[in-house]
């Protein structure tokens, strides 16, 4: 009889340099209870906290799980920190990021220890699989490595990740040197793939969270709740669908960032087998397999869950009869179409035979359908979904869906295209009589297939996407044409007399390859229809060819209707292929009759769609109803929350955009969210209901934009913000995220926005050639700057891998034993984290015995008071006058002025031996004058949003506070009393080293677009006004950084750096300059 062997690992009590957790031991207890309730004879070993060492986890994996024989079950469930680390250079061929995904054991960060890497786990699984057990691995941790263990934006959900590690790991350190031994034996390196199922709490770009109210992990809790309800017979595929929805619902309730569990089967693991080897009840869909023209084809493709990424090929089991339990063999997909795939069997099939295939890999993520209605209706519908083979939908709560919404109204169940959107289907419930659920299920499956079709693409075509260009040409009311650049198009639904003018236009396509290509144009309507509009060839040569959507009447014109509300989105997809497009079979009848796009006569009949090499081009056309006009009269929108002041010369039409559901975030907005993923910015909305919250303001039909230079357009937004939050207006120009204008918060709490120009789109078109079509789309975001450890001197304790944690005790004991001490002091923007990240890279850990970090309130506190606080804090830990230590201060920006004040006017010359200043405004900065300060902050904030996320939050907060200078900004005025007194004092007996960045010498990485961004935000007129043609690091002139000091202090050394103000501690040029410093003499 099969036996279950389970190894459970849970760690809460990590050492201080890693970060403690609270829910992992509760999770392990939850798993133990489940196994005890459902598998009374399961053999369980649990390693908790101090028992979960690197060596002990490996030993128990081998000794305990190694007992599992053929058909037995081996379960590893880990709850704790996860982290990313730099992999051995010899293993980089196996991972394009050259990263290990590791489990952080209790002693992983002690001495020369390492995390238990994914590549080591692969070696252990190979050992275990030799006895052919059923293997399941569950990891409730995060592998993204965000830098520190933190509570995410508030007190509700902790994050199970600790700091990433950077130095490459030695090859010999992996699992007793097994990889090194391969090379020593002359064997090629190989990471084995053993048959098992991995169940992970989130994907690589997300964090695994725990609920700090219940002290449990969201993933483990949801997983075993679903298992308890489903019993022993639930299949892994169903468990994936249900647990993913449960986690998403729980995360939504805590208002946290997404966490999407990932299940993945390896080496042919059957995803439809029962959990822990149980017999799954649910039937699986089967698909016909046959030979055609020498290839084996399966009648299933991307729409049925076949991955188009052949780096992770989908496995199928083939049977000669659909009801036969014996398999003829397996196959993998080698070329994937929408509903047909080429497969490669691992046996010799009979050419004349027809086989039946079951997909045994994990299914794609299900469509989450929000449900609003009574519990008994929901229960009946969920039961019907559970009994449907291959169901691609799962129910969730309102607000947590990514597809349509089901709403019970009276005695009917209605299907809405989205929350609050048009009704596209309705069935009578009739007191829950039989049959009603079966009527709704096909509509849900239809919507799920539509969603998959919308996402359809080939991620790695041989064709060069850049050589096929698509352009939309709008026909205006006066008959003139406007060619839009880009694939995100905004069209205005304009009022005329008592009616509305429908926007219209045509698509053109150009082929710059050397061969004839085929294309098909599809329209995805809001009511889940897919209509082929065109199917033709494009000749090479690069000339634009008009796409005809009514070939019989030689018509290309598309007319856009707006049937529901004040905005709409028409989604078009162009499939480009080397072959005639004739077998993708993507056409889908709509659930309603919402055409969205009409030809001048009728929509053309079109052929079906393609195989072979191909890719897709998505064109999104946004239609917005014009609600008011900017001009001589004031504008009030969103129940008075948005006010636009009158303007004498500038005119524009105004529309509002509503926040889409997650899966419906498309094009420009989706890319904007992706760009801002690593920053402190989050979407902000103004009041709305049922998913209609306003998140953007759009200005169309702009006239006289040049008038804004002398008379900016003024807006006032009364958004509901929490303490510490700032509203930030942004635009996306197709390449970068830019500030929409100057902004500040007034005494009433409202945010004022002043727009003095319309940002040009990428490519430098004038306003009539911008890709948004004479429009400015202003998105609303908010940022929160959490203030912690202000006016605090802390010990920065570095692990061997270069990561660090802050400690407040025992600093004095460390100082007493140290000879060389480094003190890090930040500037007006940011904190010491940004500086400390560069300490290991600059080789400073070998030069100093301990590193101290001084964080301080840097806006309202005068620099002199901050210097006095630094003096007192240093004295408390034993660094007073004549301390006998070699003390060096490393300071950034205004932190250099704090340090100089301490040294030159507070007796610090008897404490400090060496001061290293990076970008310090020794002779003042534009920060010191309100108009120039705001311009500098706008530049720094924009660069921060796009390239230095650690600095963008503080810069945006400074901009949003008010239009008044803070005390510290005033002191950086070149004419300030503070600088005059500081620069007139006597020369201290302390070595000074100055690092002076120069943005003109900075070489941005190829393709980064940094130079383009600097040009957009300031290089030219703005920089000339700020710096007067003088070299600068974006915030301070080089003259100010270096002027005056050499004559006052003969020991001053100047080092020029080809970097800018925000990357002294991250860019190779800045690190190279730090390495030139003579840290000790």
508 with 439, same domain: the answer is no
Give the tokens for residue 972: 């950086």
CB 834 within 8 A of CB 959: no
Res. 715: pLDDT tops 90? yes
Pairing mode of beta strands 73-79, 134-140: parallel
Query: Percent of the chain at pLDDT above 90?
Result: 30
Query: For residue 602, what pLDDT is reported?
Result: 34
Query: Percent of the chain at pLDDT above 70?
Result: 82
> How much is the average pLDDT of 990-1013?
83
Cα(962)–Cα(958) distance, integer angstroms = 8
Res. 584: pLDDT tops 50? no
Query: For residue 232, what pLDDT is reported?
Result: 59
- For residue 937, is it within any domain? no
59 with 8, same domain: the answer is yes
Question: Scanning the structure block, which residue is given the tokens 């379960």?
Answer: 75
Name the band, by pLDDT with cuts 50, 70 and 90, for residue 255: low
Name the band, by pLDDT with cuts 50, 70 and 90, for residue 763: very low
555 with 495, same domain: the answer is yes
CB 818 within 8 A of CB 850: yes
Give the tokens for residue 107: 């002693």
Against a cut of 0.75, is the pTM above it?
no
Name the band, by pLDDT with cuts 50, 70 and 90, for residue 1: low
664 with 751, same domain: the answer is yes
527 with 407, same domain: the answer is no
Cα(24)–Cα(302) distance, integer angstroms = 37
Task: Say which CATH number the domain at 655 has.
Answer: 2.60.220
174 with 57, same domain: the answer is yes
Query: For residue 1050, what pLDDT is reported?
Result: 55
Tell me what the pLDDT averaged over the chain comes to: 81
> How much is the average pLDDT of 538-548?
90
CB 448 within 8 A of CB 393: yes
271 with 296, same domain: the answer is no
Look up the domain containing 317 and give its range.
Answer: 287-359
Query: For residue 854, what pLDDT is reported?
Result: 96
Query: For residue 691, what pLDDT is reported?
Result: 39
DSSP 643-671: EE---SS-EEEEEEEEPPPGGG--HHHHH
> How much is the average pLDDT of 433-459?
79
* Most confident stretch, 232-241, 286-295, 589-598: 286-295
Residue 387: strand, helix, or coil: coil
170 with 302, same domain: the answer is no
Task: Choose between 343 and 363: higher pLDDT.
Answer: 343
185 with 162, same domain: the answer is yes
* Most confident stretch, 62-71, 363-372, 406-415: 62-71
129 with 95, same domain: the answer is yes
Cα(456)–Cα(311) distance, integer angstroms = 17
> How much is the average pLDDT of 192-211?
82
> How much is the average pLDDT of 939-967?
72
- For residue 949, is it within any domain? no
Domain count, the chain: 6
Name the band, by pLDDT with cuts 50, 70 and 90, for residue 54: very high
CB 733 within 8 A of CB 775: no
Res. 370: pLDDT tops 60? yes
- For residue 332, is it within any domain? yes
- For residue 796, is it within any domain? yes
Query: For residue 863, what pLDDT is reported?
Result: 93
Res. 598: pLDDT tops 50? no
Query: For residue 737, what pLDDT is reported?
Result: 87
Q: Which helix (H) or strand (E) holds 993?
A: strand 991-997
> How much is the average pLDDT of 354-378?
83
Question: Can you name the residues that pair with 413 across neighbouring β-strands?
Answer: 408, 427
- For residue 754, is it within any domain? yes
Which of 753, 737, 701 shows the shortest CA–CA distance to 1016? Answer: 737
Range scoring the smallest mean pLDDT among 461-475, 676-690, 850-864 = 676-690
Report the chain's C-alpha Rg in angstroms.
Answer: 32
Query: For residue 305, what pLDDT is reported?
Result: 65
Give the residue from 568, 597, 625 where a domain finishes.
Answer: 625
Cα(962)–Cα(726) distance, integer angstroms = 11
- For residue 143, is it within any domain? yes
Give the residue from 454, 481, 508 where a domain finishes.
Answer: 454
Q: What is the pLDDT of residues 826-874, one digit of tens each?
A: 998 778 888 998 999 899 999 999 999 999 987 778 999 999 999 999 9
- For residue 687, is it within any domain? yes
Query: For residue 767, what pLDDT is reported?
Result: 31
Task: Say which CATH number the domain at 410 has.
Answer: 3.40.50
Res. 294: pLDDT tops 70? yes
Give the residue from 590, 625, 660 where a domain finishes.
Answer: 625
Which of 100, 19, 8, 21 shows the shortest CA–CA distance to 52? Answer: 8
* Most confident stretch, 412-421, 790-799, 902-911, 1017-1026: 902-911
Query: For residue 1014, what pLDDT is reported?
Result: 76
Cα(672)–Cα(669) distance, integer angstroms = 5
* Most confident stretch, 62-66, 272-276, 356-360: 62-66
Query: For residue 385, what pLDDT is reported?
Result: 83
- For residue 1020, is it within any domain? no
223 with 105, same domain: the answer is yes
Res. 150: pLDDT tops 50? no
> How much is the average pLDDT of 784-799?
73
**In the 3-class helix/strand/coil scheme, how is 782-832 assigned residue by residue?**
EEECCCCCCCEEEEEEECCCCCEEEECCCHHHHHHHCCEEEEEECCCCCCH
500 with 392, same domain: the answer is no
Give the tokens for residue 405: 């919404």
Query: For residue 144, what pLDDT is reported?
Result: 33
> How much is the average pLDDT of 793-798?
92
Query: For residue 817, what pLDDT is reported?
Result: 92
* Most confident stretch, 148-152, 498-502, 913-917: 913-917
Question: Can you name the residues that pair with 568 across neighbouring β-strands?
Answer: 623
Res. 95: pLDDT tops 80? no
Which of 279, 286, 247, 287 shows the shortest CA–CA distance to 263? Answer: 247
Give the tokens for residue 1041: 């950084």
Query: For residue 609, what pLDDT is reported?
Result: 31
Query: For residue 210, what pLDDT is reported?
Result: 84
């Amino acid at each position: 009889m099969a036996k279950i062997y389970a190894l459970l690992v849970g760690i809460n009590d990590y050492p201080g340099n890693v970060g403690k957790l609270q829910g992992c031991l509760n999770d392990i207890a939850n798993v133990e209870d489940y196994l005890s309730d459902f598998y009374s004879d399961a053999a369980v070993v649990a390693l908790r906290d101090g028992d979960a060492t690197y060596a002990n986890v490996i030993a128990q994996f081998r000794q305990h799980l190694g007992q599992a024989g053929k058909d037995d079950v081996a379960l590893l469930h880990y709850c704790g920190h996860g982290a990313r680390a730099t992999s051995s250079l010899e293993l980089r061929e196996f991972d394009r990021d050259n990263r290990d995904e590791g489990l952080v054991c209790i002693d992983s960060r002690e001495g020369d220890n390492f995390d238990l890497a994914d590549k080591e786990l692969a070696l252990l699984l190979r050992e275990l699989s030799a006895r052919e057990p059923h293997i399941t691995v569950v990891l409730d941790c995060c592998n993204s490595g965000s830098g520190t263990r933190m509570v995410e934006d508030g007190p509700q959900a902790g994050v199970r990740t600790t700091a990433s590690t950077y130095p490459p790991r030695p090859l010999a350190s992996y699992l007793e040197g097994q990889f090194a031994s391969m090379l020593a034996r002359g064997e090629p390196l190989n990471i084995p793939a053993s048959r098992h199922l991995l169940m992970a709490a989130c994907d690589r770009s997300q964090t695994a969270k725990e609920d700090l109210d219940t002290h449990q992990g969201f993933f483990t809790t949801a997983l075993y709740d679903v298992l308890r309800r489903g019993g022993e017979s639930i299949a892994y595929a169903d468990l994936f669908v249900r647990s993913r929805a449960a986690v998403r619902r729980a995360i939504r309730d805590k208002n946290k960032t997404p966490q999407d569990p990932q299940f993945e089967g390896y080496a042919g693991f059957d995803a439809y087998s029962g959990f822990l080897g149980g017999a799954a009840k649910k039937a699986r869909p089967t698909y016909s397999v046959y030979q055609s023209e020498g290839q084996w084809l399966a009648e299933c493709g991307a729409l049925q869950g076949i991955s188009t990424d052949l780096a992770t090929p989908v496995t199928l089991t083939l049977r000669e009869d659909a009801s036969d339990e014996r398999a003829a063999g397996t196959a993998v997909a080698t070329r994937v179409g929408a509903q047909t795939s080429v497969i490669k069997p691992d046996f010799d099939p009979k050419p004349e035979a027809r086989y039946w295939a079951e997909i045994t890999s994990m299914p794609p993520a299900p469509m989450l359908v929000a449900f609003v209605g009574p519990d008994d209706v929901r229960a009946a519908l969920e039961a019907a979904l559970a009994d449907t083979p291959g169901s691609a939908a799962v129910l969730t709560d309102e607000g947590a869906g990514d597809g349509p919404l089901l709403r019970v109204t009276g005695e009917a169940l209605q299907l809405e295209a989205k929350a609050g959107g048009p009704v596209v289907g309705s069935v009578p419930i009739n007191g829950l009589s039989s049959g009603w659920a079966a009527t709704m299920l096909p509509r849900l499956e239809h919507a799920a297939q539509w969603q998959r079709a919308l996402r359809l693409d080939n991620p790695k075509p041989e064709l060069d996407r850049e050589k096929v260009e698509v352009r939309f040409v709008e026909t205006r009311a006066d008959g003139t044409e406007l060619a839009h650049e880009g694939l995100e198009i905004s069209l205005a639904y304009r009022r005329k007399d008592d009616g509305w003018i429908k926007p219209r236009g045509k698509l053109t396509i150009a082929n710059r390859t050397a061969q004839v290509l085929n294309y098909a144009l599809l329209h995805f309507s809001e009511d889940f229809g897919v209509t082929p509009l065109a199917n033709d060839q494009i000749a090479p040569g690069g000339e634009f060819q008009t796409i005809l959507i009514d070939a019989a009447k030689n018509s290309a014109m598309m007319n856009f209707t707006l049937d529901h509300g004040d905005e709409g989105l028409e989604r078009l997809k162009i499939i480009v292929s080397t072959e005639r497009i004739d077998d993708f079979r993507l056409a889908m009848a709509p659930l309603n009759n919402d055409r969205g796009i009409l030809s001048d006569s009728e929509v053309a009949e079109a052929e079906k769609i393609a195989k072979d090499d191909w890719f897709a081009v998505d064109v999104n056309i946004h239609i917005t109803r014009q609600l008011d006009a900017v001009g001589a009269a004031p504008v009030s929108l969103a129940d008075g929350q948005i006010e636009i002041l009158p303007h004498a010369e500038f005119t524009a039409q105004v529309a509002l955009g509503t926040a889409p559901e997650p899966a419906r975030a498309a094009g420009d907005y989706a890319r904007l969210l992706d760009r801002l993923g690593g920053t402190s910015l989050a979407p902000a909305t103004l009041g709305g209901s049922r998913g209609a919250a306003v998140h953007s303001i759009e200005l169309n039909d702009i006239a006289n934009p040049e008038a804004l230079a002398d008379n900016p357009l003024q807006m006032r937004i009364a958004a509901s913000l929490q303490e510490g939050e700032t509203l930030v207006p942004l635009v996306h120009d197709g390449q970068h995220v830019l500030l929409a204008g100057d902004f500040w918060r007034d005494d009433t709490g409202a945010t004022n926005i002043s727009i003095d120009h319309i940002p040009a789109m990428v490519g430098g078109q004038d306003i009539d050639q911008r890709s948004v079509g004479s429009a400015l789309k202003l998105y609303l975001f908010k940022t929160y700057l959490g203030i912690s450890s202000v006016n605090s001197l802390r010990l920065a304790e570095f692990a061997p891998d270069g990561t660090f944690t802050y400690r407040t005790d025992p600093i004095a004991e460390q100082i007493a034993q140290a000879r060389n001490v480094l003190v890090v002091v930040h500037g007006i923007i940011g904190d010491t984290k940004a500086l400390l990240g560069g300490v290991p890279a600059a080789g400073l850990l070998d030069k100093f015995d301990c590193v101290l970090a001084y964080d301080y309130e840097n806006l309202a506190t005068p620099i002199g008071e901050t210097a006095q606080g630094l003096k007192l804090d240093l004295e408390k830990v034993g660094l007073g006058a004549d301390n006998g230590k070699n003390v060096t201060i490393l300071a950034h920006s205004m932190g250099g002025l704090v340090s100089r004040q301490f040294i030159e006017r507070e007796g610090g010359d008897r404490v400090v031996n060496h001061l290293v200043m990076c970008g310090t405004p020794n002779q003042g900065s534009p920060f010191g004058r309100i108009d120039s300060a705001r311009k500098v902050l706008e530049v720094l904030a924009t660069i921060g949003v796009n390239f230095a996320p650690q600095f963008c939050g503080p810069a945006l907060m400074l901009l949003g506070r008010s239009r008044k200078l803070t005390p510290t900004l005033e002191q950086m005025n070149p004419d300030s009393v503070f600088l005059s007194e500081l620069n007139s004092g006597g020369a201290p007996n302390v070595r000074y080293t100055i690092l002076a960045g120069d943005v003109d010498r900075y070489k941005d990485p190829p393709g980064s677009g940094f130079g383009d961004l600097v040009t957009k935000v300031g290089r030219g007129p703005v920089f000339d006004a700020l710096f007067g043609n003088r070299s600068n690091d974006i915030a301070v002139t080089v003259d100010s950084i270096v002027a005056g000091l050499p004559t006052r202090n003969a020991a001053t050394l100047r080092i020029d750096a080809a970097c800018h103000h925000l990357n002294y501690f991250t860019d190779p040029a800045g690190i190279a300059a730090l390495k030139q410093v003579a840290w000790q003499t």
